[in-house]
Structure 1
Amino acid sequence: MVLFNLFVEFFKIGLFGFGGGYAMIPLMAQAVREHHWIPQQQFTDIIAIAGSAPGPIATNTALFIGYQTSGVPGALMAAAGNLLPSLLMVLLLIKVITNHARPNVLNRSLYGIHPVITALILYAGVRMGIENELFSQAAEYSQYGIMVLSIILFYKKVSPLWVIGLAGIAGILIYS
């Protein structure tokens, strides 16, 4: 039953998670909370690992959650559920676009979706920050680190890989 639930939930997430992997994180967090698959702290750790691992974050997260829940069969079911809607939609869109090409309508609809995707990504980041107490008196270093790293990424042409690496080193030095 758990394998079926993993497939169905990740299928729904893949079906309605417009905007890529980061926009799917709030939907995944909700599914994890509803089904009590893993603790919230472990989910946050999975997001960090999935974001730094090669490949799409949504697929990586689905694999990790499925594996933590039911081993290899769980990982396969969660990943299949997450990938199948995209595959079906791409096949359908290719058929529709090749038969009824109207690029202006498509471009306008995608332009309207961009702000919603940005809001979903921001929501996921803020919610995870609150749940992990990154926005409290007890985590001053984390707050300052988030602000400094955000400013560096926003204003300077610094690779996110350097920022992630430096943040990891800072975490080891500060919290050891």
Structure 2
Amino acid sequence: MLLLHLFIEFFIIGLFGFGGGYAMIPLMEQAVYKHRWLSQEQFTDIIAIAGSAPGPIATNSALVIGYQTSGIKGAIVAAGGNLLPALLLILLLIKFLSHHSQTHWLSRSLKGIHPVITALILYAGIRMGLQNGIFSTTADFTQYMIMGLAMILLYKKVSPAWVIGLSGVLGVLIYGF
């Protein structure tokens, strides 16, 4: 029964998670807490690992959440449930867009979706920061590190992989071995 719940939840997340993996994080968080599959700390750790690992964060997160709840079968079912809607929607969109690619209502509707996607990603980042005690009224080293790394990513042509690696080294140096 747990495998069926995993598949259904991740299928729904994949179906309504417009904007990519980061936009799906709030939906995953809601499902995880609703079914009590993981603690808040476990979920946050999974998102951090999934975001730093190669591949899409939504698929990586689904794999780990599925594995944590039901082992290898859970990982396969959760990832499959998460990927299936995208596959089906892409096939339908290819068919649809080939016939309607020049219509104005399509481009205007997509422009309306962009701010929502940005808001979902921002929401996920702020919520995870609040849950981990990263954001506070007084700036501490962690907040300066976030701002500095964000500036590096925004204004320098640096690979996010280097920034992740630098963050790990800084964490070891600052918080100890």
TM-score bracket relative to the smaller structure: over 0.9
| Equivalent in the alignment of 1:38 | 38
| Equivalent in the alignment of 1:27 | 27
| Equivalent in the alignment of 2:53 | 53
Q: 1:102 deviation in Å?
A: 3.0
Greater Cα shift, 136-145 or 3-12: 136-145
Say if 2:83 is the partner of 1:83.
Answer: yes
SS at match of 1:54: coil
Q: Residue type matched to 1:150 in 2?
A: A
SS at match of 1:135: coil
Q: Residue type matched to 1:117 in 2?
A: I
Q: 1:54 deviation in Å?
A: 1.6
> Which string of whole-angstrom CA distances, capped at 9 and with x for unpartnered residues, describes residues 28-84 of structure 1?
011111111111111111111111222111111000100011001100110111011
Q: 1:137 deviation in Å?
A: 7.0
| Equivalent in the alignment of 2:105 | 105
CA distance in structure 2 between the aligned counterparts of 1:128 and 1:139, rounded to whole angstroms: 17
> Which string of whole-angstrom CA distances, capped at 9 and with x for unpartnered residues, describes residues 10-34 of structure 1?
0110111100001000110111111
Q: Residue type matched to 1:152 in 2?
A: I
Greater Cα shift, 112-121 or 97-106: 97-106
Say if 2:164 is the partner of 1:168.
Answer: no
CA distance in structure 1 between the aligned counterparts of 2:103 and 2:172, rounded to whole angstroms: 50
SS at match of 2:38: coil
Are the counterparts in 2 of residues 66 and 77 from structure 1 also a CA contact under 8 Å? yes
Q: Residue type matched to 1:35 in 2?
A: H
Q: CA RMSD in A?
A: 1.7
Segments of 5+ residues of structure 2 without an aligned counterpart are none
SS at match of 2:84: helix
Q: Residue type matched to 1:155 in 2?
A: Y
For normalisation by structure 1, the TM-score amounts to 0.93
CA distance in structure 2 between the aligned counterparts of 1:154 and 1:99, rounded to whole angstroms: 38
Segments of 5+ residues of structure 1 without an aligned counterpart are none
Are the counterparts in 2 of residues 133 and 139 from structure 1 also a CA contact under 8 Å? no
Change (3 A) 1:101 1:156: closer
SS at match of 2:12: helix
CA distance in structure 2 between the aligned counterparts of 1:32 and 1:79, rounded to whole angstroms: 14
Q: 1:138 deviation in Å?
A: 9.2
